[in-house]
Amino acid sequence: MERNRLIKNHLSRVRELLRNVRVVYTDLDNTLLGPRGSIFMTPDLKFSIKPVLSLLKLIESDIDVVLVSGRNLNQLREIARLLSLNNFISELGCQIFYDQGKEVLPNYDFAVPEGKTLYEAIGDSGAPSLLLTHFKDHLEFHTPWSKRQTCTHLFRGFIDVKAANDLLSSAGFGGLRIIDNGASRARTNIPNGSDVRVYHLLPLGTSKASAIRKDQAKRKIKPTETIALGDSLADLEMAEAVSAFFMVADGITEKTQLSDQLLSYDNTYLTTKKMGLGWAEVADLIIPE
């Protein structure tokens, strides 16, 4: 029985799924981008232009590459501009932006008082304080990036996500959930913080998948014309909204149990290469060299 559903073992099926692709939804960190947030850097800290060339082939073929990230508007707008991309989805699906940020489509169901941001409304609810108190020495704000959010609250550490969401529900915060958005190399004040994860606190119904569905509906794009790529549990949810989801090889780790999660969907595949090189592996199947 195949353990990870590698692309190379399912080439005929994968090529069929990629035949009519119009939109590629992609995570950024550790997916399109490598170490240090560089599109040129490979997992072994060497350099390759391969991800850039593969991205360029998609752009030249009028395939819309949409960034879908935990990063905020200002971060994604600059990256999109540098990569010549027009559309992006920020803060794990909270906001969908078009034309490099000139048009925004909100994607959350949470009461926000007039004059306040979603980030401020979540903070005022007391949910972030509850999590930081309960998971003391295991969770902290993901500074300095956490100070620049407009929607989600951003943490780092290592916690049991199910226990955290059970805590939120039991404390009356059932309209919120916390999501694991992958590993981080950030420095931390947490004891034994060698295995640091990044977490987002956001409205319950908001996800990368729900944002993709809303974008598809707005632009009249069929799910069968879209795919997604990523490296984390938050990314894997995109499989629900597209014809196929591709996890870059570095996403599979024993501690996150993503290998089993990957096989819980019937349209998910694993690249043989990591980070940007794995991303290029998929792009090159869409537009062969």
Residue 19 is given by DSSP the state T
Reported as a pLDDT band with limits 50, 70 and 90, residue 257 is: low
- The pLDDT tens digits for 205-228 are 999 999 999 999 999 999 999 999
- The pLDDT tens digits for 233-252 are 889 999 999 999 999 998 77
Assess whether pLDDT exceeds 60 at residue 189. yes
174: CB partners within 8 A, 6+ apart? 168, 204
Reading the block at residue 55, the tokens are: 């991205």
- The pLDDT tens digits for 28-41 are 999 999 999 999 99
21: CB partners within 8 A, 6+ apart? 63, 225, 226, 227, 243, 286
Give the per-residue pLDDT at 186.
Answer: 75
Reported as a pLDDT band with limits 50, 70 and 90, residue 193 is: low
Give the per-residue pLDDT at 253.
Answer: 62
What CA–CA distance (Å, rounded) separates 263 from 287? 26
126: left (phi over 0), alpha (psi -120 to 50) or beta: left
- Please count the CA atoms within 13 angstroms of the CA of 264 that sit on its side-chain side: 11
Query: Do 244 and 137 form a contact (C-beta atoms < 8 A)?
Result: no
- The pLDDT tens digits for 127-185 are 999 999 999 999 999 999 999 999 999 999 999 999 999 999 999 999 999 999 887 87
Reported as a pLDDT band with limits 50, 70 and 90, residue 254 is: very low
Find the distance separating the first CA and the last CA of the chain, reported in whole Å.
Answer: 31
Assess whether pLDDT exceeds 60 at residue 256. no
Assess whether pLDDT exceeds 70 at residue 10. yes
Phi first, then psi, for residue 91 (nearest 5°) are: 50, 50
Reported as a pLDDT band with limits 50, 70 and 90, residue 282 is: very high
- Give me the mean pLDDT over the 59-76 stretch: 96
What CA–CA distance (Å, rounded) separates 137 from 256? 20
Domain boundaries along the sequence of the chain: 7-107+207-286, 118-203
Strand 88-90 versus strand 64-68 pairing type: parallel
- The pLDDT tens digits for 89-109 are 999 999 999 999 999 999 999
In the predicted model, what is the mean pLDDT of the chain?
93
Does domain 7-107+207-286 bear CATH number 1.10.10.10?
no
Give the per-residue pLDDT at 37.
Answer: 92
- The pLDDT tens digits for 18-67 are 999 999 999 999 999 999 999 999 999 999 999 999 999 999 999 999 99
CB neighbours (10 Å) of residue 162? 9
Phi first, then psi, for residue 89 (nearest 5°) are: -120, 120
